[in-house]
């Protein structure tokens, strides 16, 4: 990472990026007028300097208003362009800039008894306790009775090739947070062939020993606020930031499985599929609703949201299979 920072450099955050160079010149000119007031020796000179400073100050405010207006119009154009190209990430980022809303700083959370924890160290311990109890659960005792497939799918089981690694590196998304190793996707994509040559012997070794590096098993848990009382840990969603190099290895496996599994999936399934998303399901549901209204026909919709499901899907799958058999 030190070499990447030395060669590629880092981006600096700039405040009020919408202020133009002309406005900055006006600000510098106002500063000179302010200095002239302090250097005035007579009342006449000071009065004249005050008038010049007031005029310079009004000019700065006019230019700032114009810059801000132009900036807002530019953001609106960017948002429209993001919608046309289906770039939701860019759209949400632009809307956030337009709204001027910023994420609030951390607020104190309560312990398991409902008491507010004032100190930072106590809050860290509380978060560790909460996620440990939430994620470190015993395996479900019940298992779904799923019949074995008649034949195996044609999934390649040999060591990853350089072509597969190259494709996986190119599929990494930019602008994503890094894991504990602090290696961003942009660094790996800056020289793809070097990354491929670096990953190839590593992946061969992993395939042979059937053991991944310890660093890939670690990650940063980030808490995202949901609805409700934000002093309660239960009203946060935790996501884990994993090693980006581990995602390259996982992408190789996913590409192999996806090509073999996708033809066997139902057309109704849109989640976690290439070139499909939940937006397709929402569109379908909207059409059904519109037709129901148009034809004045009854429509019943049942939404099921399992709270913090995680590995409970096996139990849910078993219950759904039993219900479908009973209904049949």
Residue 328 has pLDDT above 90, yes or no: no
84 or 4, which is more confident? 84
Q: Are 312 and 138 in contact (CB under 8 A)?
A: no
Instruction: Output DSSP code: residue 232.
Output: S
Please tell me whether residue 225 adopts helix, strand or coil conformation: strand
| pLDDT for the residue numbered 327 | 41
Q: Measured between alpha carbons, how far is 68 from 80 in angstroms, rounded to an integer?
A: 18
Once rounded to an integer, what is the mean pLDDT over residues 58-67? Answer: 94
| pLDDT for the residue numbered 212 | 95
| pLDDT for the residue numbered 11 | 63
The average confidence (pLDDT) of the chain is 86
Per residue in 311-326, pLDDT (tens digit) is 656 666 666 666 654 4
| pLDDT for the residue numbered 213 | 94
Per residue in 277-307, pLDDT (tens digit) is 888 888 999 999 999 999 999 999 888 776 6
Residue 243 has pLDDT above 90, yes or no: yes
Kindly report the length of the chain: 328
Domain chopping of the chain, boundaries: 17-99, 111-147+298-328, 159-264
Residue 13 has pLDDT above 60, yes or no: no
Q: Are 210 and 225 in contact (CB under 8 A)?
A: no
Once rounded to an integer, what is the mean pLDDT over residues 190-211? Answer: 96
Per residue in 102-129, pLDDT (tens digit) is 655 567 899 988 899 989 999 999 999 9
User: Inter-axis angle of helices 43-84 and 88-99, to 10 degrees?
Assistant: 150
Query: CB within 8 A of 7, min separation 6: which ones?
Result: none
Percent of the chain surpassing pLDDT 70: 84
Taking Cα atoms as reference points, which of 200, 210, 275 lies closest to residue 245? 200
Q: Are 62 and 106 in contact (CB under 8 A)?
A: no
Q: Measured between alpha carbons, how far is 172 from 189 in angstroms, rounded to an integer?
A: 8
Both tokens of 197, joined, read 């040559």
Residue 15 has pLDDT above 60, yes or no: no
User: Within 13 Å and on the Cβ side, how many CA atoms surround 29?
Assistant: 17
Percent of the chain surpassing pLDDT 90: 49
pTM: 0.68
Q: Are 131 and 306 in contact (CB under 8 A)?
A: no
* H-helix or E-strand spanning residue 24: helix 21-39
Q: Are 67 and 19 in contact (CB under 8 A)?
A: yes
Query: CB within 8 A of 154, min separation 6: which ones?
Result: 260
Residue 205 has pLDDT above 90, yes or no: yes
The gap from C-alpha 205 to its chain's centroid, in whole angstroms, comes to 31
């Amino acid at each position: 990472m030190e070499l990447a920072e030395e060669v590629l450099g880092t981006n600096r955050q700039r405040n009020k990026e919408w202020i133009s160079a002309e406005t900055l010149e006006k600000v510098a000119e106002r500063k000179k007028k302010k200095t002239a007031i302090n250097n005035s020796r007579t009342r006449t000179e000071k009065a004249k300097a005050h008038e010049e400073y007031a005029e310079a100050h009004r000019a700065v405010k006019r230019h700032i208003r114009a810059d801000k207006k132009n900036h807002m119009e530019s953001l609106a154009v960017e948002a429209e362009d993001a919608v046309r190209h289906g770039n939701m990430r860019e759209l949400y980022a632009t809307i956030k800039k337009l709204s001027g809303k910023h994420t609030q700083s951390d607020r104190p959370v309560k312990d398991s008894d409902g008491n507010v924890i004032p100190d930072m160290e106590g809050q860290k311990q509380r978060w560790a306790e909460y996620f440990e109890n939430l994620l470190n659960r015993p395996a479900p005792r019940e298992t779904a009775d799923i019949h074995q497939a008649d034949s195996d799918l044609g999934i390649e089981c040999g060591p990853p090739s350089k072509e597969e690694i190259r494709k996986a590196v190119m599929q990494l998304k930019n602008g994503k947070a890094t894991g504990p190793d602090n290696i961003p996707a942009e660094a790996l994509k800056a020289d793809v062939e070097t990354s491929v040559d670096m990953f190839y012997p590593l992946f061969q070794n992993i395939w042979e020993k059937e053991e991944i590096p310890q660093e890939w098993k670690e990650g940063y848990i980030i808490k995202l606020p949901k609805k409700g009382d934000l002093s309660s840990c239960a009203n946060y969603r935790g996501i884990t930031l994993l090693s980006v190099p581990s995602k390259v290895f996982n992408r190789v496996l996913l590409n192999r499985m996806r090509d073999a599994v996708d033809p066997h999936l139902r057309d109704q399934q849109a989640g976690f599929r290439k070139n499909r998303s939940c937006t397709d399901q929402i569109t379908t549901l909207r059409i059904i609703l519109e037709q129901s209204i148009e034809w004045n026909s009854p429509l019943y919709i049942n939404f099921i949201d399992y709270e913090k499901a995680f590995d409970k899907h096996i139990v849910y799958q078993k219950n759904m299979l039993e219900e479908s058999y009973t209904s049949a």
